[in-house]
Structure 1
Amino acid sequence: MEWELILTLVFFAFCAGTIDAAVGGGGLIQIPALMGALPQTAPATLFGTNKLASICGTGSAAFSFVRRVKLQWSLLGVIALFAFISSFIGAACVSLVPTHILRPIVLVMLIVIAIYTFMKKQFGQVHVDQQITPKLLVLAAIGSLAIGFYDGIFGPGTGSFFIFFFIRFLQVDFLHASALSKIGNFMTNLAALSFFIPTGHVLFALGLMMAVANIAGSLLGVRLALKYGSGFIRILFLILVSILICRLGYQIITG
C-alpha cells in the first residue's frame, strides 16, 4: 500500500477519533475512507479494521472521561456488561435481519431524536446527580441491551442512541452522557472484534497505524468536550444526527 494512501487514512482516523470522542459517529468518517481507499477489500475486513482503530480511540476517550468526569462505577459496570453481551448476540444474528428493513425504522427514530433535542433547548443541559437505585440500574441495563444489540446487528448511530437514552432516562447532561456512551461503545466494539479477529477480517498493520491517530484525535475530542461543555456537545450531536438522517435517507432512496 502506498504511503500517500496510508497517510490519508491516518488523517481520516484522527478526524474520526476527534468527533467520536465528543458525540460518537466516527465510523461515518472512517468506514467511507477505508471503502474509498481499498475498494477491492472485503467489507468484513474493512469493518474489522475500522473496529480495531475505533476501539483504541474509544478506550482512550473512555479512560480520559472516567478520570475527569464524576461517574458512578456501578452504573458503568452495568452498561459495560449488558452492552457487550447484547452486541455479541447481535453480531451473531446479523444475517437474520436484512438491513433494508432496519434502515427506515432507524431513520424515523433519528428524526424523532433530532426534533426532540432541537425543540427542547434545555435537554441535556442539566445534570441530576442521582442516587444509584435498582430501578436506575435496570433502566441502564435495558438501554444497554437494546442499543448494544442494535450495534451488533446494524450499527450506524449507536453513539447517538446511547447519548439520547442516557439523557432522557438517566437524567444526565450531554457531557456525562457522552462519557457513559464511550463505555458502551468500547464494549460493543470489543464484542465485534471478538468476531472479526478469529475470522481474519482485520488488517492489523493499517489498523494499528489508524489506531494511533484515532487515539490522538480522541484526546483532542475529550479536551474540547470538557472545555466547552454540554452546549458544544449538543450542537455537535444535532449535526451528527442530521448527517446520519441524510445518509440513511440516501441509502433508502438509492436502494
Structure 2
Amino acid sequence: MFYDLLILCVVSFAAGFIDAVVGGGGLLQTPAILIVLPQYSVATLFGTTKIPSLSGTAFAAWKYSQDIKLDWKFLLYVAVMAFIGAVLGAHYVTLIDGKLLKPAILVILISVALYTYFNKTFGVGTAKEMTRLQQLITGFLFGFSIGFYDGLIGPGTGTFFILAFISLMGYDFLRASASAKLINIATNLAAICYFSSTGHILYEYALPMAVFNVGGAFLGTKLAILKGNKFIRVFFLMVVVFAILRFAYDIFIK
C-alpha cells in the first residue's frame, strides 16, 4: 500500500498544479488511480479522487479570490446549477456508458485546440454585453451541462469551464481560471456527497492525496497570478492537447 500511495500522492501534486492553472488535473489523476488500484471498482476510484480534487480546487479558489475581482452572485448561481448537474451525472455513472460520449468530446477538444492556437485574441478578455437574464440563461446552460459531465465522466471539467467563461462570457484566461475553480468546488462537493453516501471513497488514499493536491495548487496559483494570461494560454493549449491524446487513446487504442 505504501508505494501505491506514494505514487498517487506524487501524481496528485502534479494534478493539483495543473488544476490550479487551467483545470484538467483529472486527466492525470484519474488514469493513475485506475492503473495503481485496479482491484477496486471504477465508481470507488472516481469517488476517491474527488476529495483531493476538492481540496486543491478550494485552496486555489481562495488564493485567486484574494487577487482577482469576481462576480460572486453569478458564480454562486452557476455553482448551484453545476452542483445539480453533477449529482445527476454521478447518479447515471452506472447507467450511461461514458464511452459513447468520448468521440464527441474528442471532436470538441480538437476544435478548441485549433481555435485557441490560431485566434491569438482568445482569452485576452473582452467582456460581452449581456443582460442579467441572458447571463442567468447562459450560466444555467453551461453550468448544468458541464456539471453533469463532471459527475458522469470527470476529467477535463475545469478546462471546459474555463472555455465556457472565455467563449460565452468574454473573460480573460486568469479571471476564467479563477471563476472555474469556484464552480469546480460545487461539482466536486456534489460528487463527494453521492459517492460517500454509497460507500465509494477510499479515505486512506483520498486524505493523503488531498494534502499533496493542495501543495500542487499552491504552486500553480502562485505561477498563474505571477505570469498572467500568456502563461495560462500556453498551459491551456498543452492541457487540451494532452486531453485530445487521452481521449484518442481511449477511443482508438484501449
TM value normalised by structure 2: 0.94
Equivalent residue number for residue 55 of structure 2: 56
- The Cα of 1:218 is off from its aligned counterpart by 0.5
Deviations 1:99-153 (Å, cap 9, x if unpaired)? 2210111111111111111111010012538687221232122210111112122
Letter in 2 for 1:250: Y
Residue type matched to 2:11 in 1? F
- Decide whether the 8 Å contact of 1:10 with 1:210 is kept in 2: yes
* Pair 1:132–1:183, CA change in 2 (3 A): farther
Q: 2 CA distance for matches of 1:63 and 1:21?
A: 11
Alignment pair present for 1:93 and 2:92 = yes
Q: Are 2:25 and 2:156, in contact at CA under 8 Å, matched by a contact in 1? A: no
| 1:227 alignment partner in structure 2 | 226
Match of 1:253 in 2: 252
Equivalence map 1:44-83=2 (5 Å) = 44-83=43-82
TM-score (norm 1): 0.94
Whether the aligned pair in 1 keeps the contact of 2:52 and 2:206 (CA below 8 Å) is: yes
d(CA) in 1 for partners of 2:222, 2:231: 12
* 8 Å Cα contact 1:75-1:132 kept in structure 2: no
- Between 1:146-155 and 1:82-91, the stretch displaced more is 146-155
- Kindly tell me: are residues 74 and 57 of structure 1, through their superposed partners in 2, closer, same or farther at Cα, counting changes over 3 Å? same
Structure 1 pair 150–173 and aligned structure 2 pair: CA distance change class (3 A): same
1:111 aligns with 2:110: yes
Q: Runs of 5+ in structure 2 lacking a partner? A: none
> Aligned equivalents of 1:161 and 1:213: distance in 2?
24
Please state if 1:144 is matched with 2:143.
Answer: yes
- The Cα of 1:226 is off from its aligned counterpart by 0.3
Alignment of 1:1-255 (within 5 A): 1-2=1-2, 4-128=3-127, 133-255=132-254
Query: 1-side partners of 2:240 and 2:230: how far apart?
Result: 16
8 Å contact kept, 2:128–2:169: no
Aligned partners of 2:32 and 2:142: how far apart in 1? 30
1:251 alignment partner AA: D
> Once the two structures are aligned, what percentage of the paired residues are identical?
44
Cα RMSD after superposing both structures:
1.7
